[in-house]
Structure 1
């Protein structure tokens, strides 16, 4: 319960911080119980865009993120054409001083995109940027997607000590019973 209240408060503070920054136009993702969050953007004017989405990995956790996005289609004449081209996605970590560290990101691009950070995410604030542009002259465009975040607690050093002690006792017991069988 206490952890849930802390996580909610941290998400609220992150949201307030994002809203307080005048240059930042980022959406804060809210994950459901399964670790999924949806996002998207619509752009009415033709051109290139970069959209930011922020999220958090809880304290004493590590996470694995995986995202997908698909561009919308527009009816032009008798054809349905993709109205937005996604040209790239990059993950970043938001540092304590609000600066950003770009993370390695594996991406497949096109009208449908899959992306994920190259490494495990440790506790902290993160985000990703979707770069793209409208595809049809004189028309806007849109896309939507899903980010899945699987988290697990980080094992404490004491856990490793208990594991080593348990394995040591198991080895001692096995050796002792083996030597008793020989006598």
Structure 2
């Protein structure tokens, strides 16, 4: 009876685990359910560097890389294919609390068409909602992936393929980027990896507020025009 109960428990556990959907992109299978977008994404603002990283900075084009020696803040300032390497964790800051962020990778080698070579390169980090100390408060999960990243025109364009949106249940002003991944069969980055930038993306409520604001401005302008013609 006890053995039968154990077998039943094991079957139920296996069934439950298989019920969680995953997303396969190239050679990588995420433990998350994400929407895969074929084009590029445009960040609205870049989060500012606070602390962390091991001091190594460089550039990447997907198949090769070089060392630049620029500052950590400069490497993280924008999506320019300049990366900062971790560990230690890289902490970034947003003046507005965010419940999702855009992570722009810096694929420094192994890129192939469709990015199926060293497939973990695009996903070799994890992002946590944090505080200014870098405390790991909540691990995000990947909800969107953009196959062509932010840049699809420059000579370095392959380096940011598979840019990801990380979403959280809470809203944070600080985020920590650490080594690791959210892949089935990981850990693919046990101690180091590169990140180009962390950015903000419009939240659904931001779109709603923007549209409402534009509508209000249109109403005011139309009313003023009517008053002027009377």
TM-score normalized by the length of structure 1: 0.41
Q: RCO (CA 8 Å, sep 6+): is it higher in 1 or 2?
A: 1
Find the structure with the greater CA-based Rg: 1
TM-score normalized by the length of structure 2: 0.35
